Structure 1
Amino acid sequence: MSDPGRLRYLLALSRPRFWLYLAGPVLVGVAFAAESVADLVTPGTAVAFAYFLLPANVYLYGVNDAFDAEIDAANPKKDDREARWRGDPSVAAVVVACGLLGAATFLALPRVAWPYLAGFFFLGTEYSAPPLRFKTTPFLDSLSNGLYILPGAAAFAAVAGTHPPVAALVGAWFWAMGMHTFSAIPDVEPDREAGVRTTATFLGETRTYAYCLACWLAAAAAFALVDVRLGALLSAYPVAVFAVFRSGVDVERAYWWYPALNTVVGATLTLGALWRLVNG
Structure 2
Amino acid sequence: MLGRLRYLLTLSRPRFWLYLAGPIAVAVPFGVSSTDGLFTPVTLPLFAYFLLPANVFLYGINDVFDADVDVENPKKGGREARWKEDPTVSAVVVGFGLLGIATFALTPRVSWPYLAGFFFLAAQYSAPPLRFKTTPFADSVSNGLYILPGAAAYAAVSGVHPPIGALAGAWLWTMGMHTFSAIPDIEPDRAAGIRTTATVLGERWTFAYCLVCWLAAAAVFTLVDLRLGLLLVAYPVVVLAVFRSDIDVERAYWWYPAFNTAVGTLLTLGGLWRLLYA
TM-score tier by shorter-chain length is over 0.9
Aligned to 1:253: 251
Q: Distance in 1 between matches of 2:13 and 2:60?
A: 10
Does structure 1 residue 17 correspond to structure 2 residue 32? no
Does structure 1 residue 74 correspond to structure 2 residue 61? no
Aligned to 1:148: 146
Deviation of 1:111 (Å): 0.6
Structure 1 alignment gaps of length 5 or more: none
Q: Distance in 2 between matches of 1:138 and 1:64?
A: 17
Q: Distance in 1 between matches of 2:37 and 2:68?
A: 46
After TM superposition, the structure 1 = structure 2 runs for residues 98-109 of structure 1, keeping only pairs within 5 Å, are 98-109=96-107
SS in 1 for 2:50: helix
Deviation of 1:79 (Å): 2.5
Q: Distance in 2 between matches of 1:75 and 1:22?
A: 24
Whether the 8 Å CA contact 1:220–1:230 is kept in 2: the answer is: yes
Aligned to 2:175: 177
Q: What code does the residue aligned with 1:210 have?
A: A
Q: Distance in 2 between matches of 1:164 and 1:35?
A: 14
Q: 1:240 aligns with which of 224, 234, 238?
A: 238
Q: Distance in 2 between matches of 1:237 and 1:172?
A: 12
Whether the 8 Å CA contact 1:47–1:104 is kept in 2: the answer is: no
Whether the 8 Å CA contact 1:112–1:158 is kept in 2: the answer is: yes
Aligned to 1:138: 136
- Once superposed, which parts of structure 1, at least 4 consecutive aligned residues long, lie more than 2 Å away? none
TM-score (normalizing by structure 1) = 0.99
SS in 2 for 1:197: coil
Q: Distance in 1 between matches of 2:179 and 2:218?
A: 17
Considering only aligned residues, what root-mean-square deviation do their CA atoms show, in Å? 0.5
After TM superposition, the structure 1 = structure 2 runs for residues 95-134 of structure 1, keeping only pairs within 5 Å, are 95-134=93-132
| Equivalent pairs, count | 278
Aligned to 1:5: 3
Identity of aligned pairs, percent? 73
TM-score (normalizing by structure 2) = 0.99
Structure 2 alignment gaps of length 5 or more: none
Q: Distance in 2 between matches of 1:114 and 1:160?
A: 14
